[in-house]
Structure 1
């Protein structure tokens, strides 16, 4: 009995509220409304900030956040903002890691120079590199890009501020690291204006980004480096926040004749959490072998420059 009397009495917030509304008005004034309110507010704030950094699976939309917003973006012109995004891309640890084992194609060198990205001298020679670093769309004349969705129409501030930075595996890379020539990574910055749900990239745009990244790898595996999408299956695993960098890893699974099977994963560039997956089949048109003769189209050179 004595031990029970000495045991401290725990008062829960629910019990405190019940006591406040069952006692007469004179007694209610003595109840610690200030303490209870402070506890509820503090608990809510802690729960929200924990949710932001560790979004729960049951409601990730409530805790959406931007992670790579450019500091002082409102004071920058459109061209300055795009250049700042380019410099920020080359500061990412994942990009630095790949860059140290890559050879910069002419397109990659031009884009870096235009944005003022300093040369670190960490890249490999063309013969020793595991990857080619290339920038799609930059070799094409403006008239060829006029009606291109991701290369022109959606280019600009708060959309696709910079062209994708693509690392494609070389023959030496495939020999040393495994995989196949053409496997690689595409690092992409997605702006806030490419949303479906507010703050989340549109699911159709994810399909477009997958299609372009997968096609680049598939063309390495096809006989004449030309192919069209025959099938594209996507598994959306988690919402993808906008205003950040993402990475799409592609891997050639099989190629036989005019068909190539390629899979890909879209990941968070920092945590490498898989946000979406894709499986695809690309088929080379029967007339593809004649395209090199008519017009002198050399897709392989375009993929490496």
Structure 2
């Protein structure tokens, strides 16, 4: 009986020994699929939108650069044309002069009122002079061009013994930055006062004997101003003329007051200026 029991135990142990190698082999050797039955590996294709978006971004960058360069070019031209003095005779100077004349022809309130008054006669400055003679004059020669006295339009009123000069004062006439030089204002005022005196004298000529100015307000450059002159008939004779004047801005504010004395000299003969001075 002992032998029978021991034999059973031994058989059970031998059976376990024979089963373990098979189990180990089953676990160690993986079951491989056949190449014909395995699913093919999917390789993702590149997206067309990603490729197109790259091209689109390049085009947008180039477009923005072009727009920026064009806007910068326009801005430089605008600033140069409006806020920088231009050399006379250049293309920018011509464009600026055309712009100033267009502003005048648009008839600002002052110009419109003068044109509607039947007693005022409109004329260009220095109408009695040739183009060559204008180059020899201070205000139409060295001070000409868009950076100087770019425009002067004269309105005569012989009935009131008054002359109005509608003038543009350019950037090149500054003393302090943005402020027109006081000497320039005295020059333009002297000539405008003289227009009244010359039209008063039978000789149609005169020289300045005395000029006094009082500066009330600053006069800005790159703007239009009116220079007014009126004969003081009570103090004037055929050989002496007292003339009062003012410089006014677009709102009518008085910026400069002036008084001038003009005479016809006896010792030497002056060239006749004429009615369009």
TM-score, normalising length: structure 2:
0.63
Alignment of 1:35-74 (within 5 A): 72=78, 74=80
Q: Write the distance in 1 (CA, Å) between the matches of 2:187 and 2:133.
A: 19
CA distance in 1, matches of 2:274, 2:200: 12
CA RMSD of aligned residues (A): 2.2
The 3-state SS of whatever aligns with 2:167 is strand
Q: 1:259 aligns with which of 220, 237, 240?
A: 240
Match of 2:179 in 1: 200
- Work out which of the residue numbers 133, 140, 146 in structure 1 matches 2:135: 146
Q: Deviations over 1:43-74 (max 9, x none)?
A: xxxxxxxxxxxxxxxxxxxxxxxxxxxx9464
Q: Is the 8 A contact 1:229 1:282 kept in 2?
A: yes
Q: Give the length in aligned residue pairs.
A: 189
For the pair shown, the structure with the greater C-alpha radius of gyration is: 2
- 1:244-255 aligned at under 5 Å gives the runs 244-254=223-233, 255=236
User: Following the alignment from structure 2 to structure 1, what is the Cα–Cα distance between the partners of residues 79 and 96?
Assistant: 6
- What pairs up with 1:1-305 in 2 under 5 angstroms? 72=78, 74=80, 77-91=92-106, 92-101=108-117, 129-162=118-151, 164-170=152-158, 174=159, 179-180=160-161, 183-254=162-233, 255-269=236-250, 271-286=251-266, 297=272, 299-300=274-275, 302-303=276-277
CA distance in 2, matches of 1:78, 1:140: 23
Q: CA deviation at 1:139?
A: 4.4
Unaligned runs of 5+ in 1: 1-70, 102-128
Q: Is the CA contact (8 Å cut-off) linking 2:205 and 2:273 kept in structure 1?
A: no
Q: For the residues of structure 1 that align with 2:261 and 2:217, how far apart are their CA atoms? A: 24
- Pairwise CA distance, 1:90: 2.7
Check 1:263–1:161 CA distance in 2 against 1; reply closer, same or farther (3 A cut). Answer: same
1:226–1:285 contact (8 Å) kept in structure 2: no
- Contact residue 201 and residue 239 of structure 2 kept, 8 A: yes
With the length of structure 1 as denominator, give the TM-score of the two structures.
0.58
Residue ranges of structure 2 left out of the alignment (5+ in a row): 1-76, 82-90
**Alpha-carbon distance change, 73 to 132 in structure 1, aligned in 2, over 3 angstroms:** farther
Cα distance, 1:211 vs structure 2: 0.3
Instruction: Tell me the secondary structure at the aligned position of residue 183 of structure 2.
Output: helix
SS in 2 for 1:149: coil
